[in-house]
A and B are shown apart, each in its own frame.
Chain A
Amino acid sequence: MNLTLKIWRQKNAKDTGKIVEYPMTDVSPDMSFLEMLDVLNQDLIDKGEEPVAFDHDCREGICGMCSMFVNGQAHGPDSMVTVCQLHMRSFKDGDTIFIEPWRATAFPVIKDLIVDRSAFDRIQHAGGFISVNTSGNTQDANSIPINKHDADTAFDAATCIGCGACVASCKNSSAMLFVSAKVSQFALLPQGQVEATDRVLNMVQQMDDEGFGNCTNTGACEVECPKGISLENIARMNREYLSASFKG
């Protein structure tokens, strides 16, 4: 396949950046999207040019590192996949492909397609954990019976890989789906109840402080989430937050 890539190039956080066009020839439909970018980068290196910087790690859809807005969609046109699982067979010969970084004030661009997602880390630090006594008398988590539905729902929420596709897809750059998944995975389990009030208040406060937008329930985040995190989590977080606020 022959393709035209239009890639966002930005030298550093201070650079204004621009879209640069790169023609690609003989692209195999069996290549993954990142392999196609690897080929482009090798060509650029061979020509003595700066390769395109992009985040990637496991390349099997579980680390949440790859983060590209491909042809107007987070992680590209396929559903329930990260961009490393996207293959060139999803495109056709002659296509023009726009490749951009996540766009959100809370996710500033570091270089080219790499954005700083440490805002998510700070939200997690604000309450996305349970405090466990590690003095030697720690109770085995499996000794507390949990009904199957709650365990499964909590596990579904816990599959969030924190890639940021929800923020990138949301027209308001809202981080509600991410935060709600992290709140839900604990809110549904007895181990998470002790710190439930502080957790949701602190995580939402941190989310707001980071400059993410307000959720307007468009549902774009749920559609683009590579792990299928449901909007039900946002409703649960709303309930948790409102109840925690009234409790004080």
Chain B
Amino acid sequence: MSGILSSSIGRKFAMALSALFLMIFLLQHFAINILSVFSPDTFNEVSHFMGTFWVIQYALQPVLIFGVIFHFVMGFVLEIKNNKARRIKYAKNNGGANSSWVSRNMIWSGLVILAFMILHFIDFWIPEINIKYIEGDMTGLIDPNVADSGFRYYEELVHKFHDHIRTIAYCVSFVFLALHLLHGFDSAFQSVGANNKYTKGLKRFSKIYAIGIPLGFIFIALFHHLKQIL
């Protein structure tokens, strides 16, 4: 067991586990966000629960942050190592003849997602942490001094998608997320050693997930944006 993470297969395994964890998180994130389209009240209730329940805040949130950082850092470490494995490049390399563009450019789609994550954290996560843990307001209310002022989560979400540029940035990022997932989803299963009679079906499901979830996020962003400007 010792040194498993220092081996190429061990790193690949760890990368796949963090990817699988993040893909489950993404599904849960989408399931909650889509509620904002159909029922703002339910969205508020669920958001308040997620934002205040101690198991999520103090146990799962740190695991998620670790998973995100680990996935990005390991991605860069592997990229640097892989570049060292071929110091002299080919004068002519027809990569398109044997592999997909998305599989060869995971680092670039990953970098766009990283840029998006920074924007997303500035938009939502950092203000949330500030309100709850710096200002100490755990009520989740628009005005903490007015009990019937209602939850602030839906209002904050809608407010962010008023801006054209931010909405476009979110949509473009989701396109890159789809590209990343198109290779990443079934690649994670291959990395943990799962290549068997179910792989064909898994590849089909991975395409549905990789396109469906980001498309759903684009729908949510456009829905809230267009609802405000039309």
| Complex: chain A residue closest to B13, CB-CB | A242
**Tally of contacts, chain A with chain B, CB under 8 A:** 141
Give A232 to B194 CA distance when docked, in angstroms.
Answer: 9
Q: B residues 51-92 with Cβ under 8 Å of A?
A: 78, 81-82, 84-92
Residues of chain A within 8 A (CB-CB) of B13 are: 238, 242
| Residue tally, chain A, CB below 8 Å to B | 49
Given A105-B85, A241-B7, A234–B98 Cβ distance below 8 Å? no
- The answer to whether A246 touches B103 (Cβ under 8 A) is no
Partner of B103, one of A71, A169, A219: A219
Give A48 to B112 CA distance when docked, in angstroms.
Answer: 55
- The answer to whether B98 touches A169 (Cβ under 8 A) is yes
Q: A residues 62-89 with Cβ under 8 Å of B?
A: 69, 71-73, 77
| Complex: chain A residue closest to B186, CB-CB | A217
Give the Cβ gap from B84 to chain A, nearest Cβ, in Å. Answer: 6
| Complex: chain B residue closest to A215, CB-CB | B12
Can you list, as one digit per residue, whether each of A192-208 has a CB less than 8 Å from chain B (1) or not (0)? 00000000000011011
Q: Residue A248 at the B interface, CB < 8 A?
A: yes
Partner of A219, one of B86, B87, B98: B98
Give the Cβ gap from B76 to chain A, nearest Cβ, in Å. Answer: 12
Interface size class on chain B is: 35 or more
Q: Residue B193 at the A interface, CB < 8 A?
A: yes
Partner of A208, one of B8, B90, B95, B104: B8
Residues of chain A within 8 A (CB-CB) of B99 are: 171, 218-220, 223
- The answer to whether B193 touches A171 (Cβ under 8 A) is no
Give A18 to B21 CA distance when docked, in angstroms.
Answer: 47
Residues of chain B within 8 A (CB-CB) of A235 are: 190, 193-196
Contact segment of A33-41, A96-104, A137-145: A96-104
- The answer to whether B9 touches A238 (Cβ under 8 A) is yes
- The answer to whether A214 touches B93 (Cβ under 8 A) is no
Residues of chain A within 8 A (CB-CB) of B87 are: 105
Residues of chain B within 8 A (CB-CB) of A208 are: 7-8
Residues of chain B within 8 A (CB-CB) of A216 are: 78, 82, 103, 106, 187
Q: Residue B122 at the A interface, CB < 8 A?
A: no
Can you list, as one digit per residue, whether each of A156-184 has a CB less than 8 Å from chain B (1) or not (0)? 00000000000001011110100000000
- The answer to whether B9 touches A213 (Cβ under 8 A) is no
Give A220 to B183 CA distance when docked, in angstroms.
Answer: 13
Give A13 to B12 CA distance when docked, in angstroms.
Answer: 32
Give A232 to B10 CA distance when docked, in angstroms.
Answer: 18
Give the Cβ gap from A129 to chain B, nearest Cβ, in Å. Answer: 21
Residues of chain B within 8 A (CB-CB) of A59 are: none
Residues of chain A within 8 A (CB-CB) of B224 are: none
- The answer to whether A105 touches B84 (Cβ under 8 A) is yes
Given A72-B93, A216-B106, A238–B192 Cβ distance below 8 Å? yes
Given A219-B103, A246-B1, A213–B81 Cβ distance below 8 Å? yes
Q: Residue B4 at the A interface, CB < 8 A?
A: yes
- The answer to whether B98 touches A205 (Cβ under 8 A) is no
Residues of chain B within 8 A (CB-CB) of A232 are: 195-196
Q: Residue B97 at the A interface, CB < 8 A?
A: yes
- The answer to whether A205 touches B7 (Cβ under 8 A) is yes
Q: Residue B28 at the A interface, CB < 8 A?
A: no
What residues of chain B have their CB less than 8 Å away from a CB belonging to chain A?
1-2, 4, 7-13, 78, 81-82, 84-95, 97-100, 103-104, 106, 183, 187, 190-196
User: Given A71-B92, A174-B85, A215-B8, 16 more contacts at CB 8 Å?
Assistant: A72-B92, A98-B91, A98-B92, A100-B90, A100-B91, A105-B86, A173-B85, A212-B85, A213-B81, A216-B78, A216-B82, A218-B104, A235-B196, A241-B9, A241-B10, A245-B7
Ranked 6 nearest A-B pairs via Cβ: A72-B94, A213-B85, A235-B195, A239-B193, A172-B82, A223-B98
Q: List 26 A-B contacts (CB under 8 A).
A: A69-B90, A71-B92, A71-B94, A72-B95, A73-B97, A100-B90, A100-B92, A105-B85, A174-B8, A204-B8, A212-B8, A214-B78, A214-B82, A216-B106, A217-B103, A217-B183, A218-B98, A218-B183, A219-B103, A220-B95, A231-B195, A232-B195, A234-B195, A236-B195, A241-B7, A242-B192
